[in-house]
A and B are shown apart, each in its own frame.
Chain A
Amino acid sequence: MSVANSKWKLLVIGAICGLIAVCLAIFGNPANMAFCIACFIRDTAGALGLHQAEVVQYARPETIGLVIGAFLISFATKEYKSTGGSSPMIRFILGFCMMVGALIFLGCPLRMILRMSAGDLTAWIALIGFILGIGTGVIFLKGGFSLGRAYETSKLSGMVISLLSLAILLLAVGTNLLKQSTAGPGSMHAPIIMSLIGGLLFGALAQKARICFAGSIRDVILLRNFDLLSAVVGLFVVMLIYNLASGNFALGMNTPGIIAHSEHLWNILGMYVVGLAAVLAGGCPLRQLILAGQGSNDSAVTVLGMLIGAAICHNFGLASSGTSVNPETKELIKGAVTTNGKVACIICIVVLLVIAFVSKRQTKAASN
Chain B
Amino acid sequence: MRKKELKLVVTFHTTAEAMALEKAAKERSLLGRMIPVPRELSSGCGISWTSPLELREELLSLMEELQIEKDEIHEIMV
Instruction: Indicate, yes or no, whether A interacts with B.
Output: yes
Contact check, A228 vs B16: say whether CB atoms are below 8 A apart.
Answer: no
Contact among B14, B40, B69 for A1, CB-based, below 8 A = B40
Report yes or no: A149 in contact with B69, Cβ–Cβ below 8 A.
yes
Q: List the count of A-B residue pairs having beta carbons below 8 Å apart.
A: 69
Tell me which of A79, A144, A291, A364 contacts B19 (CB under 8 A). A144
Residues on A with beta carbons closer than 8 Å to the beta carbon of B39: 1-2, 4-5, 210
Residue-wise, chain A 260-288 has the 8 Å CB interface mask toward B (1 for contact) of 00000000000000000000001100010
Please indicate the chain A residues that have their CB under 8 angstroms from the CB of B17 in the complex: 146, 361
The digit string for A137-174, where 1 denotes a CB below 8 A from any CB of B, is: 00001101111111000000000000000000000000
Q: Is B61 in contact with chain A by the CB < 8 A criterion?
A: no
A365 interface hit (Cβ, 8 Å): yes
B43 interface neighbour in A210, A215, A228, A364, Cβ under 8 Å: A210
**Inside 8 A of B40's CB, which chain A residues have their CB?**
1-2, 5
A171 to chain B, nearest CB (A): 30
Task: Report Cα–Cα, A282/B12, bound state, in Å.
Answer: 14
Question: Which of B14, B35, B38, B46 is the most central at the interface, judged by chain A CB atoms within 10 Å of its CB?
Answer: B14
Whole-angstrom distance between the Cβ of A122 and the nearest chain B Cβ: 28
Question: Smallest CB-CB separation from A7: which chain B residue?
Answer: B1
Those of B64-78 within 8 Å (CB) of chain A:
66-69
How distant is the Cα of A219 from the Cα of B36 in the complex, in angstroms?
A: 7
Residue of B nearest to A144 (CB): B16
Whether A149 lies near B13 (C-beta < 8 A) is yes
Q: Identify the closest chain A residue to B12 (Cβ).
A: A149
**Distance, CA A283 to CA B16, complexed state (A):** 15
CB–CB A145/B43 < 8 A:
no
Contact A222 B16 (CB under 8 A): no
Known contacts A74-B43, A210-B43, A212-B45; A146 and B14 CB within 8 A of each other:
yes
> Is B34 part of the contact surface with A, judged by Cβ < 8 Å?
yes
Given contacts A79-B43, A146-B15, A287-B45, contact A225 B20 (CB under 8 A): no
Min distance, Cβ A82 to any Cβ of chain B, angstroms: 13
A320 at the interface (CB under 8 A from B): no
B35 touches A225 (CB 8 A): yes
Is A228 within 8 A of B45, CB to CB?
A: yes
**Residue with the highest number of chain A CB atoms closer than 10 Å, among B16, B33, B38, B66:** B16
User: Closest approach, in angstroms, between the C-beta of B62 and any C-beta of chain A?
Assistant: 13
In this complex, the member of B15, B19, B35 whose beta carbon has the largest number of chain A beta carbons within 10 angstroms is B15
Quick check: B45 and A148 within 8 Å, CB to CB?
no
Q: Give the distance in Å from the alpha carbon of A5 to the alpha carbon of B76 in the complex.
A: 13
Cβ-defined partner of A282 (8 Å) among B33, B34, B38, B45: B45
Q: Is B10 an interface residue (CB 8 A)?
A: no
Interface presence of A294 (CB below 8 A): yes
Q: How far is the CB of A108 from chain B (nearest CB, A)?
A: 17
Q: Which B residues are closer than 8 A to A by beta carbons?
A: 13-17, 19-20, 33-36, 38-40, 43-47, 66-69
A-B residue pairs, 8 tightest by C-beta: A146-B16, A149-B13, A361-B16, A363-B67, A79-B43, A5-B39, A210-B45, A2-B40
16 A-B contacts (beta carbon < 8 Å) = A141-B16, A144-B19, A145-B15, A145-B16, A146-B16, A146-B17, A147-B14, A149-B13, A210-B45, A215-B45, A222-B47, A225-B36, A282-B15, A287-B45, A360-B16, A363-B66
